[in-house]
């Protein structure tokens, strides 16, 4: 028996036709939108707001995080006019705009399209924005520039009706960098830069992974031990997508409708065989010497020399991913005045980059960014934090996130000295849109009682590892009241800075001292969470696996 979402999609037919319903609503009223319409709005990038009827969130698609000055200025103007002066950068290298009134939503979608910003498939049961290394093409150490490959894949699937009705959302990363900075371990499909020797020459391509994903039941992607050339990528991804699309058992239960479950159920050997049958040929074997990269922290923040002589890129940290109209306009201006006039990038850590800056203009760029609060000289904690939308807008969130994350950062950066950033991810519910399971310190929204009142709280996790030895983190303390989280994290991080051995990483320190010691640090030494004695008796609220308005 198909689930409700499948019935709606079957009734609706072409999902992109929903934009016509949104256009009609602009004159006929919000009530003219049916429940089916509101569900299908996701296919054109629109979600209804949590609290305010008649308003939408709009998500864009910026393949590989590519943005032009004109596009950024357009988004800044929309944010200034309709969005209270800000946009959110997401972990999929795109933008979220809020407070779009239903009478203007369709017109804004068309305005964005006019400057090359697409929204089709930004949400819904479809391929989401394809992400890649934000310094593709300029990174000194990259194995290949995968930016053009990302664009080819995005172009093939964008608005393609053959792939507009998948069982659920579908996430892909394609990167040629050596550090796997876009976290291929958690993607449905990931192409990771690799090389092989063929006929005495070195050829750059990709190692293929499938089956990653987070939410309430996380899985790490698995290697198919296959080598894919850039020319093969679109074909290979098309057939992977069709295998999943054409497997009806993954449409029966929406909470089980992700590619990660198919890979888990089938195993990689069966999946590779099915893929090769569709391709009509064997996949090339991955080089035996291929190795996973170490878990190198790479947020791309700061000043970095490019492989092009005399040129630099500048990465600016955007606190909690929330960027103002003034900041966007300044970045666009600096790109035109001091850069190449066309190259801006977003990162999966919610930051923004300016590329192709001549050395003579570097100081002007740094000063111009600092002038609007985007200084590269940021405390490691400020650089570390990643957050989801939270209860401010998301219907599935349990806790507020953006303001709380800002409060935590502003508290810790004045009290804790660190010599390198950590992954600090704060998520408003178990759906993991801010990817709390991969963080060195992850925080997942919950509820607890303080003085008899139910308040926001967070479960605190430690130990997330990407790259070689990849593993999800684990909880060390549950239901810490949100108001106390900054002080509790201060105690944890001060314990790390005082107790660590020379060169010891945060994860290694956590493993060495053990969870009992970590819990003591987080609770001030008494071993009990703050709040009422019966706080642990309040269960974590159950939420459905997310369709979003989330990252």
Give residue-wise pLDDT tens across range 19-32: 999 999 999 999 99
Please tell me the distance from the alpha carbon of residue 2 to that of residue 165, in angstroms, as a whole number: 14
User: What CATH number has the domain bearing residue 454?
Assistant: 3.30.413.10
In DSSP terms, 314 is beta-bridged to 303, 354
What pTM, to 2 d.p., does this model score?
0.93
The verdict on residue 124 lying in a domain is no
* The token pair that represents 10 in the structure block: 């079957």
Please tell me the distance from the alpha carbon of residue 210 to that of residue 185, in angstroms, as a whole number: 9
* The token pair that represents 455 in the structure block: 């308040």
Report the residue count for the chain: 551
Please determine, for residue 551, whether its predicted confidence score (pLDDT) is greater than 60. no
Q: How many domains does the chain have?
A: 4
Residues 306 and 372 in one domain: yes
pLDDT-based confidence at 199, cuts 50/70/90? confident
pLDDT at position 549, please?
37
Please state the rounded mean pLDDT for residues 103-123: 97
Question: Which is nearest to 105 in space by CA: 37, 9, 35?
Answer: 37
The verdict on residue 396 lying in a domain is yes
pLDDT at position 297, please?
87
Please determine, for residue 415, whether its predicted confidence score (pLDDT) is greater than 80. yes
pLDDT at position 51, please?
78
Domain boundary among 324, 357, 378: 378
User: What CATH number has the domain bearing residue 366?
Assistant: 3.90.480.10
Least confident of 104-108, 296-300, 492-496: 296-300
Q: Report which of residues 89 and 526 the model is more confident about.
A: 89
The verdict on residue 19 lying in a domain is yes
Residues 317 and 418 in one domain: no
Please state the rounded mean pLDDT for residues 415-439: 94
pLDDT at position 526, please?
43
Residues 239 and 350 in one domain: no
The verdict on residue 119 lying in a domain is no
User: What CATH number has the domain bearing residue 29?
Assistant: 3.90.480.20
Please state the rounded mean pLDDT for residues 48-59: 90
pLDDT in tens, 319-358: 999 999 999 999 999 999 999 999 999 999 999 999 999 9
How does the average pLDDT of the chain come out, rounded?
93
Please determine, for residue 529, whether its predicted confidence score (pLDDT) is greater than 60. no
Determine the Cα angle at 238 with ends 236 and 240, to 5°: 70
Please state the rounded mean pLDDT for residues 476-489: 97
pLDDT at position 1, please?
54
pLDDT at position 200, please?
86
pLDDT at position 114, please?
98
Please determine, for residue 49, whether its predicted confidence score (pLDDT) is greater than 70. yes
Residues 356 and 436 in one domain: no
pLDDT at position 295, please?
92
| Domain boundaries, position 344 | 302-378
Please state the rounded mean pLDDT for residues 147-172: 97
Question: Which is nearest to 379 in space by CA: 493, 257, 259, 507?
Answer: 493
The verdict on residue 417 lying in a domain is yes
Please determine, for residue 103, whether its predicted confidence score (pLDDT) is greater than 90. yes
pLDDT at position 532, please?
36
Residues sharing a CB contact under 8 Å with residue 533, sequence separation 6 or more, in sequence order: none
Q: What are phi and psi of 505, to 5 degrees?
A: -80, 165
Please tell me the distance from the alpha carbon of residue 260 to that of residue 97, in angstroms, as a whole number: 29
pLDDT at position 405, please?
97
Residues 260 and 311 in one domain: no
The verdict on residue 442 lying in a domain is yes
What is the residue whose two structure tokens read 């970590």?
518
Contact assessment for residue 469 and residue 463, using Cβ atoms and an 8 Å cutoff: no
Residues 388 and 526 in one domain: yes
Question: Which is nearest to 157 in space by CA: 131, 187, 127?
Answer: 127
% pLDDT > 90, the chain: 89
pLDDT at position 548, please?
43
The verdict on residue 226 lying in a domain is yes
Please determine, for residue 538, whether its predicted confidence score (pLDDT) is greater than 50. no
Please state the rounded mean pLDDT for residues 428-450: 96
pLDDT-based confidence at 124, cuts 50/70/90? very high
Report the Cα 30 to chain-centroid distance in Å.
31
% pLDDT > 70, the chain: 95
pLDDT at position 50, please?
84
Task: Tell me which DSSP letter residue 395 carries.
Answer: S
pLDDT in tens, 258-315: 999 999 999 999 999 999 999 999 999 999 889 999 998 899 999 999 999 999 999 9
């Amino acid at each position: 028996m198909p689930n409700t979402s499948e019935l709606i999609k079957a009734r609706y037919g072409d999902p992109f036709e929903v934009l016509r319903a949104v256009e009609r609503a602009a004159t006929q009223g919000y009530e003219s939108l049916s429940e089916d319409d509101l569900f299908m709005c996701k296919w054109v990038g629109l979600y209804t707001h949590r609290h305010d009827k008649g308003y939408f969130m709009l998500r864009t698609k910026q393949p590989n995080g590519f943005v032009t000055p004109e596009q950024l200025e357009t988004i800044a103007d929309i944010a200034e006019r309709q969005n209270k002066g800000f946009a959110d950068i997401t972990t999929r290298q795109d933008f979220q705009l809020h407070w779009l009134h239903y009478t203007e939503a369709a017109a804004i979608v068309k305005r964005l399209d006019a400057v090359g910003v697409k929204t089709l498939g930004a949400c819904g049961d479809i391929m989401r924005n394809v992400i890649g290394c934000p310094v593709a093409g300029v990174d000194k150490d990259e194995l290949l520039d995968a930016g053009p490959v990302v664009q080819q894949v995005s172009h093939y699937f964008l608005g393609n009706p053959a792939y507009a009705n998948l069982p659920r959302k579908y996430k892909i990363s394609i990167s040629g960098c050596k550090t796997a900075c876009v976290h291929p371990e958690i993607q449905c499909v990931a192409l990771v830069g690799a090389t092989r020797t063929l006929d005495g020459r070195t050829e750059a391509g990709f190692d293929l992974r499938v089956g990653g994903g987070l939410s309430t039941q996380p899985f790490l992607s698995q290697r198919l031990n296959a080598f894919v050339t850039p020319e093969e990528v679109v074909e290979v991804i098309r057939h992977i997508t069709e295998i999943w699309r054409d497997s009806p058992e993954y449409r029966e239960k929406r909470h089980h409708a992700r590619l990660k479950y198919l890979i888990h159920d089938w195993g990689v050997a069966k999946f590779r065989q099915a893929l090769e049958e569709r391709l009509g040929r064997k996949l090339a074997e991955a080089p035996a010497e291929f190795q996973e990269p170490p878990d190198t922290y790479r947020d791309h923040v700061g000043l970095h020399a490019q492989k092009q002589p005399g040129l630099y890129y500048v990465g600016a940290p955007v606190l909690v991913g929330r960027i103002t109209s003034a900041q966007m306009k300044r970045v666009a201006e600096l790109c035109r005045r001091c850069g190449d006039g066309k190259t801006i990038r977003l990162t999966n850590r919610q930051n923004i980059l300016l590329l192709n800056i001549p050395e003579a203009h570097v100081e002007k760029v740094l000063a111009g960014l600092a002038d609007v609060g985007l200084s590269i000289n940021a405390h490691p904690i400020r650089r570390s934090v990643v957050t989801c939308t939270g209860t401010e807008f998301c219907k599935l969130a349990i806790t507020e996130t953006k303001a709380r994350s800002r409060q935590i950062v502003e508290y810790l950066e004045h009290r804790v000295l660190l010599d390198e950033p950590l992954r600090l991810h704060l998520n408003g519910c178990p759906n993991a849109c801010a990817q709390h399971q991969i963080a060195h310190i992850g925080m997942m929204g919950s509820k607890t009682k303080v003085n008899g009142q139910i308040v926001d709280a967070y479960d605190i996790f430690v130990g997330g590892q990407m790259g070689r030895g990849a593993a999800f983190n684990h909880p060390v303390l549950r239901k810490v009241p949100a108001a106390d989280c900054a002080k509790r994290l201060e105690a944890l991080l001060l314990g790390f800075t005082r107790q660590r051995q020379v060169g010891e990483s945060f994860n290694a320190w956590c493993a060495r001292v053990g969870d009992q010691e970590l819990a003591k640090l987080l609770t001030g030494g008494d071993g009990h969470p703050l709040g009422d004695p019966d706080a642990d008796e309040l269960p974590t609220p159950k939420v459905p696996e997310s369709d979003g308005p989330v990252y």
